[in-house]
Chain A
């Protein structure tokens, strides 16, 4: 059974940093691109960042570019999101998601067949 378990969320002051992690199991992690999606309170889903299977290709939403860094450790089946210079508008439930197909490189279609339960990030003074 595919499982994704996020961790690392919490309360942080504006301008602060957090590092989210997503532990994956039940599939060959190194063969799939991964993505972070967030949902602000009372709002819809927002795609945040994507990383290719090897980690060599990344993409970011304009709203987080230059502040967030996605990475992965294929030896530990773990996905990360380093979040710096946090703002109040980054407050959200952050989900990690597995891409549907095992496509190598930059071209993995952004469609997600398995999601974690999410980890809550609150940015407030």
Chain B
């Protein structure tokens, strides 16, 4: 199985901050990484697909980049509704998720 390692596992930030979450794959996976936002008691929400494509309806402050083994999710200016857990997911092989990054209010 392809392992996805996210960092950091948790992060505290303030409204307006720029935040970057990284994900490293255990082997090269081209651009086949998706990013999801998950809030407690809610369904996960697709933010970015295939490394850098913004899903319809997702605010433009979210962006993704990377290829091969290293990928990043960036939130350019944190908003109150962005505090959640974020997961990367690869689709090169059978789907696997990173362990998640919990983003809290500082």
Which residues of A are in contact with B by a Cβ distance under 8 Å?
35, 37, 44-47, 50, 59, 61-62, 95, 97, 100, 109-118
Contact = CB atoms under 8 A, between A and B. Distances in A.
Contacts of A46: 97
Nearest to B99: A44
Contacts of B45: 115
Given A46-B97, A112-B34, 4 more contacts: A44-B97, A45-B100, A47-B89, A111-B91
9 contacts: A100-B49, A100-B55, A110-B95, A111-B49, A111-B89, A112-B44, A113-B46, A113-B55, A114-B43
By DSSP majority rule, is chain B's interface helix, strand, loop, or mixed? loop
B88 to A, nearest CB: 10
A110 B43 contact: no
A46 B98 CA distance: 9
Contacts of B89: 45, 47, 110-111
* Closest 3 pairs between A and B when the two form their complex, measured CB to CB: A115-B43, A47-B95, A110-B95
Contacts of A61: 94
Interface residues of B, number: 23
Contact of B46 (A44, A47, A112): A112
B38, B43, B46, B100: most-surrounded residue (chain A CB, <10 A) = B43
A37 B36 CA distance: 13
Interface string B5-43: 000000000000000000000000000101010100011
A89 B99 CA distance: 17
B98 to A, nearest CB: 7
B67 interface: no
Nearest to B57: A113
B50 interface: yes
Contacts of B87: 44-45
